[in-house]
Amino acid sequence: MARFRNPVLPGFHPDPSICRVGTDYYLVTSTFEYFPGLPLYHSRDLVHWRQLGHVLDRPDQLPLAGVRSSNGLFAPTIRYHDGRFYVICTLVGGHDRAGTFVVTAADPTGPWSDPYWLPEAEGIDPSLFFDNGRAWCVGCRPLTEPDYPGQTEIWLREFDPIGMRLVGAEQVIWRSALGGAVWTEAPHLYKVDGRYYLLTAEGGTGHDHAVMIARADQITGPYQGSPRNPVLTHRHLGRDHPIVGTGHGDLVCTPGGQWWMVLLGMRPYGGYFYNLGRETFLVPVRWAEGWPVASEGTGRVEDSYPAPDLPEHRWPAEPATDNFEAPTLAPLWNVLRTPDKQFWSLEERFGHLRLRVRPPTLADLDTPSFVGRRQQHIDFAARTAVDFQPESEHESAGLALVQSDAFHLTLTVTGRRQRVVRLARRYQRSTEVLAEAPVAEGRVYLGVEARGQNYQMRFATRPDRWKPLGEPVDGRLLSTPVAGGFVGTYLGVYATSDGQPSSNHADFDWFEYLALDAG
């Protein structure tokens, strides 16, 4: 029997939400401060996924200017009804606009509509549910007068999909499955065998994360929690377990009646550190005595399961190297926050990604000249080739590995009088140069090879003569337990003039990313 391996979406893919349309499955995840926002994935067998694009890919859809690291887009939900796709999400910490909104599309590849804002939808983690000609919205929010810190509640209100607004009276339908639970969140509604089911998470999106379930005869309740709650958690397995923090699930049923859950989890390595952030996992679900049983027999998210009873459907493998010969950036690339104007070009020098050298740095709450992709493997290698001649001592361009504005690594070409390759570390808002070496004029090759938490930086002036730069860097600064927040590590190409004006540019010929093993 064919098997699949978890996670099905490795790297920073938190808060997954899924829907089925016929024999096709669509999935979205959170993106926080990254633009474009909300990657949209497509599968026909629940195991092999391809990225179609992003739900929010136009700057006027997504006002992320100035948002802090790990603010931005929280926990989207995707649903399909009557020929249209709906994605509902919350923008947290936006300066120009914030709150919950809905976007729609007739085709998942877009175009998606401009946001319809729902000012009455308080809190985060909104979800939509369509039932018998009516639509409902649920979300979570902190109590106005909590009994303890972190106490939240789940509210319900009818949603008008024509007027794109909330209507009718609001009701609080749930607070927690367990006494004293913090951050009851991630609500999703389903109807199974005539009953309404409310799936939630509790414990906070860290080690104590857990999946809970409640049911009712009417959508408005009252809801009864399962006596077997939590229906899935790893909080009791210890911090040395290979998968931790499992929670924030969403359910889907195949045409053959099989149920599956997508959910997030983390894979620590080198201690309790998870540089890849929260990833998307898939587990089987069976219904017994009116309740879902997740990962029957073990009650844990396993690293391998028998594949769903669906025809296997693999997509063409993505190339390891982007030669920047397409007219637009591939969907895997993101930038930080919404750019006020495009700072990159794929046309000015064919076969190259040209970055403008601009004042913002990775340490600023701005949109620096950074184009990055997710780190998706524990052991990996990434390389690029850059043509760049600094015109001032403030200018630099090269490779960057980013966790947040306060925690990142850069490997750049810099120096006007004497050009050098410089390795710098940003840690707790202090920048330190770790190593540098002179380089001659012309093209420079830059790379990083990670083996667990050892990140070895390399450079070359010929593609067959790589040299290490400094000692391996401790990669744990790129993990959430060190840096805080909700995102995983990004790596990519970067250019800056460090606060000074510049008219220079850097040209990157290609970017290569390789997994070094199955990690």
Q: Which domain holds residue 465?
A: 321-515
Is 86 a domain residue?
A: yes
Given 15, 250, 322, 507, which residue is catalytic?
A: 15
Cβ-based neighbours of 272, under 8 Å, separated by 6 or more: 239, 240, 244, 481
Is 283 a domain residue?
A: no
User: Cα(519)–Cα(517) distance, rounded to whole angstroms?
Assistant: 5
Q: Are residues 55 and 165 in the same domain?
A: yes
Write down the pLDDT at residue 114.
Answer: 98
Q: Are residues 229 and 325 in the same domain?
A: no
Q: Are residues 411 and 505 in the same domain?
A: yes
Q: Are residues 231 and 334 in the same domain?
A: no
Q: Are residues 227 and 350 in the same domain?
A: no
Q: Is it the case that residue 519 has pLDDT exceeding 50? A: no
Per-residue pLDDT tens over the stretch 333-367: 999 999 999 999 999 999 999 999 999 999 999 99
Q: Tokens 């098997």 belong to which residue? A: 3
Write down the pLDDT at residue 278.
Answer: 98
Q: Are residues 223 and 351 in the same domain?
A: no
User: Cα(367)–Cα(67) distance, rounded to whole angstroms?
Assistant: 10
Q: Are residues 327 and 183 in the same domain?
A: no
Q: Are residues 62 and 157 in the same domain?
A: yes
Is 221 a domain residue?
A: yes
DSSP state of 476: G
What CATH number is attached to the domain comprising 104?
A: 2.115.10.20
Cα 284 versus chain centre, distance: 23
Residue pair 248/205 in contact (Cβ under 8 Å)? The answer is yes
Nearest CA among 156, 153, 88 for reference residue 116: 88
Per-residue pLDDT tens over the stretch 428-442: 989 999 999 999 999
With a threshold of 0.85, does the pTM exceed it?
yes
User: Cα(186)–Cα(246) distance, rounded to whole angstroms?
Assistant: 13
Number of domains in the chain: 2
Q: Which of 206, 235, 264 is where one domain is finished?
A: 235
Alpha carbons within 13 A on the beta-carbon side of 408 = 26
Q: In what order do the strands lie in the sheet with 259-266?
A: 244-253, 259-266, 279-288, 291-294
Residue pair 142/183 in contact (Cβ under 8 Å)? The answer is no
Confidence of residue 121 (pLDDT cuts 50, 70, 90): very high
Cα Rg of the chain, angstroms: 23
User: Cα(281)–Cα(264) distance, rounded to whole angstroms?
Assistant: 6
* Mean pLDDT across 389-408: 98
Is 300 a domain residue?
A: no
* Mean pLDDT across 105-133: 97
Per-residue pLDDT tens over the stretch 267-319: 999 999 999 999 999 999 999 999 999 999 999 999 999 999 999 999 999 99
Q: Are residues 213 and 337 in the same domain?
A: no
Cβ-based neighbours of 1, under 8 Å, separated by 6 or more: 306, 307
Q: Are residues 49 and 167 in the same domain?
A: yes
Write down the pLDDT at residue 430.
Answer: 95
185 is catalytic: yes
Given 45, 185, 202, 507, which residue is catalytic?
A: 185
Per-residue pLDDT tens over the stretch 67-92: 999 999 999 999 999 999 999 999 99
For the chain, count helices (H), then strands (E): 1, 40
Is 275 a domain residue?
A: no
Is 71 a domain residue?
A: yes
Q: Which of 213, 235, 257 is where one domain is finished?
A: 235
Is 59 a domain residue?
A: yes
Q: Which of 201, 235, 269 is where one domain is finished?
A: 235
Nearest CA among 438, 439, 395 for reference residue 416: 395
Cis-peptide, bond into residue 230, ω within 30° of zero: yes
Write down the pLDDT at residue 429.
Answer: 83
Q: Are residues 339 and 204 in the same domain?
A: no
* Mean pLDDT across 364-380: 98
Is 341 a domain residue?
A: yes
- Phi first, then psi: give them for residue 204, nearest 5 degrees: 80, 150
Q: Are residues 21 and 125 in the same domain?
A: yes
What CATH number is attached to the domain comprising 468?
A: 2.60.120.200
Cβ-based neighbours of 44, under 8 Å, separated by 6 or more: 23, 24, 25, 310, 311, 313
279 is catalytic: no
